Amino acid sequence: MIPVQGVQNQTIAVLGLGRSGRATAAALREGGATVVAWDDSAETRAQAEAEGLPLLDLTRDTGWRDRIDALITSPGIPHLYPHPHPAIAQALRRGVPVDNDIGLFFRSFGALDWAGFDTAPRVICVTGSNGKSTTTALIHHILRAAGRPTQMGGNIGTGVLSLEPPVDGEVVVLELSSYQTDLARALTPDVAVFTNLSPDHMDRHGGFGGYFAAKRRLFAEGGPDRCVIGVDEDEGRYLANQMGQGPQDDRVIRVSVEDKLDGFGWSVSARKGYLSEWRKGRQIASMDLRGIRGLPGAHNHQNACAAYAACRSIGLAPRDIEAAFHSFAGLPHRSQTVAEINGVRWVNDSKATNVDSAEKALMAFENIRWIAGGMGKEGGIAALAPLFPRIRKAYLIGHSARDFALQLSDTPHEVVETMEAAVARASAESEPGDTVLLAPASASFDQYPNFEKRGEHFTALVEALRRG
C-alpha cells in the first residue's frame, strides 16, 4: 500500500466503494485521514460498513453539514458529462476539491523518502484508445525480463494505491483510461505514452474533443521527461507538435505503423512487420516482428513500437527488448494464441467487441475460420466486407448470428448458436495452416456476463480439444 501524503487530520469523503474505492479509503486512513464513504449500491454500502467504513450520504445536503476537506471519486462515476453525480455536484457547489486515486498516487508516490536510493524510481504511464493494456503489459514484461524491479497497475491489474512502495531503481508502469486522466489533480509521469485515438466514451467527455482533451492532460499537465506518441492520427501529430520544440527535439519519440519517420530527432516505426528505430537521421536498430507469436498483426506492431520506445527512453538495450518480445505471451482475450493443434492455430480475441477491433484481428491472420456473434452493434459486420475473402468459413453464435449471416452473403458460414458448437464445427473442418479466430465483433451479454467469461469458455473448450 502507498499511504496518501498530506491528508493528516483531514476528513476525506470517498465516493464509490468498489476495488479502487476501498483501496483508496485504506490508503487515506494509512496517511492519517478520517474517511467517510458512500456508494449508490445498498449491498456495497453494507459490505463496506461491515469492514468498518463509516457511511455518509453525500448526495444530500445533510451529508455536508460537517467539514469535508476533499471528495475522492471512483473513475466510473461521471463528474461533468453527461451530468455530475449528485455527490460530486454537492462538492462542486461548495468548492470542495474533487480528485481520484490517480491524483492521490502522484502526490504521494513522489513524497516518499528516497534519500537512500541510488536511482530514483520512475513512472511510465500509457493512455490511448486501443492497445494500452497490451502496451502496458508488454513494457512491464520487458522490464522484468531485463531484471529491472517493476510493478504494474492502474486500469490493469493492481489499483495504484495498492501498489507497494517502490524500491531503488524501480519502474512503475500504469495504464490510465480517459476517466482517470480527466480528473486527477496531480499527473507527473516520467514517461508518458499515447498509443492512438478513435471515438469512445463520447457521452462521458461531451464529444470527441473532450475525449482527446482528457488524454492530452497526461502530457500537457503532466510534463513528462519523455513523450512516446503515436502519430498515425491527426490528434497524435498535434500532440507531438505541442510537446516538442521542433522536429529534432528528441524528448518526443514519434511512433507509426504507417509512415517511415526518419526526419525526426527520435522515432520508432514498423512497416510491413519490421521495426526500425531512428535517431538524428541515423537508423539505430531494427528487428523483424512478424514471427513474434504474442504480437500478431499491425495493431500489435504499433503496441510493440510504443513499448520499445518507452523502454529505450529509460536506457534498455535493443537486444534485451527484442528478446523479451519473443517471450511475451500476450494478454488474455486479445489476439491470444491459446493452442496449436495438428497445425491449426486457435486464437482468443474475445475483447474484439466491436467492428474496429474485429477488423484488426481479421487483418492479423490468414486462412481464418471465424467465430463471431453475440449482441451485435449498429450496422452489424457490414464494414468488415473487404476482409471477408480472408475467411474460409464463419461460425456464428448468439443473438446476432442470423443478422451476421445475411451480411456475410456468399462467404461460407454456418449459424451454430453456441460456443460449444462453433468450436466443434471449426475443429472438424479446419486444416493445417488454418487459424480459428474468436473475434466476435459483438458484446457478450446475450450469453456471457462479460467478454472475459466468453474468452475463458472458448479457451477451456480448446484446451479440452488439445487434451483429446
Cβ count within 10 A of residue 213 = 16
pLDDT attached to residue 7: 96
| pLDDT band at 178; cut points 50, 70, 90 | very high
Position 149 pLDDT exceeds 90? yes
The CATH architecture of the domain made up of 104-326 is: 3-Layer(aba) Sandwich (3.40)
What cell was used for 365?
491472420
Q: Give residue-wise pLDDT tens across range 300-350.
A: 999 999 999 999 999 999 999 999 999 998 889 999 999 999 999 999 999
What is the DSSP secondary structure assignment for residue 225, as one 8-state letter?
S
What is the DSSP secondary structure assignment for residue 55, as one 8-state letter?
B
Rounded Cα distance, 459 and 339, in Å: 9
335 is in an annotated binding site: no
72 forms beta bridges with 14, 99
- State the residue for C-alpha cell 516538442: 244
What cell was used for 384?
468488415
Q: What is the CATH number of domain 336-467?
A: 3.90.190.20
CB 369 within 8 A of CB 436: yes
Listed residue (206, 146, 197, 119) closest to 327, CA to CA: 146
Instruction: State mean pLDDT over 397-404.
Output: 97
Query: Apex CA 240: angle with CA 234 and CA 243, to 5°?
Result: 140
453 is in an annotated binding site: no
Position 182 pLDDT exceeds 90? yes
Alpha-carbon separation of residue 120 from 115, 148, 237, 313, 454 (angstroms): 9, 13, 31, 15, 42
CB 321 within 8 A of CB 268: no
Ordered by start, the domain boundaries in the chain are: 11-99, 104-326, 336-467
| 375-376/413-417 β-pairing | unpaired
Position 112 pLDDT exceeds 70? no
Task: State yes or no: cis peptide before 82, omega within 30 of 0.
Answer: yes
| pLDDT band at 198; cut points 50, 70, 90 | confident
Rounded Cα distance, 320 and 113, in Å: 31
Q: Count helices and strands (H / E) in the chain.
A: 15, 21
pLDDT attached to residue 34: 96
More confident residue, 416 or 203: 416
Helices 451-467 and 419-429 pack at an angle, to 10 degrees, of: 40
Q: Give residue-wise pLDDT tens across range 210-246.
A: 999 999 999 999 899 999 999 999 999 999 999 999 9
H helix runs in 174-273, sequence order = 178-183, 202-205, 208-220, 234-243
CB 253 within 8 A of CB 262: no
133 is in an annotated binding site: yes
CB 124 within 8 A of CB 193: yes
| CA distance from start to end of the chain | 45
Q: Give residue-wise pLDDT tens across range 423-465.
A: 999 999 999 999 999 999 999 999 999 999 999 999 999 999 9
- For residue 362, the SS3 value is helix
Rounded Cα distance, 306 and 132, in Å: 9
The answer for residues whose C-beta is within 8 angstroms of residue 88's C-beta and 6 or more apart is: 15, 71, 73, 77, 78, 79, 98
CA diameter of the chain: 71
Rounded Cα distance, 149 and 271, in Å: 32
| pLDDT band at 111; cut points 50, 70, 90 | low
132 is in an annotated binding site: yes
Record: fold of 11-99 = Rossmann fold (3.40.50)
* Sheet containing strand 70-73, strands side by side: 34-38, 11-15, 70-73, 98-99
Average pLDDT, the chain: 95
CB 289 within 8 A of CB 295: yes
Domains 11-99 and 104-326 share a fold: no
CB 34 within 8 A of CB 56: no
360 is in an annotated binding site: no
- For residue 416, the SS3 value is strand
Phi-psi region of 367 (alpha: psi -120 to 50; beta: other; left: phi over 0): left
Instruction: State mean pLDDT over 12-41.
Output: 95
Is the alpha carbon torsion for 174, 177, 178, 184 positive or negative? Answer: negative
Listed residue (426, 302, 420) closest to 364, CA to CA: 302
Listed residue (217, 212, 254) closest to 235, CA to CA: 212
Phi and psi, residue 20, nearest 5°: -70, -35
Whole-number percent of the chain with pLDDT over 90: 88
| pLDDT band at 74; cut points 50, 70, 90 | very high
Residue 429 burial (CB < 10 Å; 0-12/13-18/19+)? middle
Q: Is the pTM of this model over 0.85?
A: yes
Rounded Cα distance, 124 and 138, in Å: 12
| 226-230/252-256 β-pairing | parallel
CA 422 from chain center: how many Å? 29
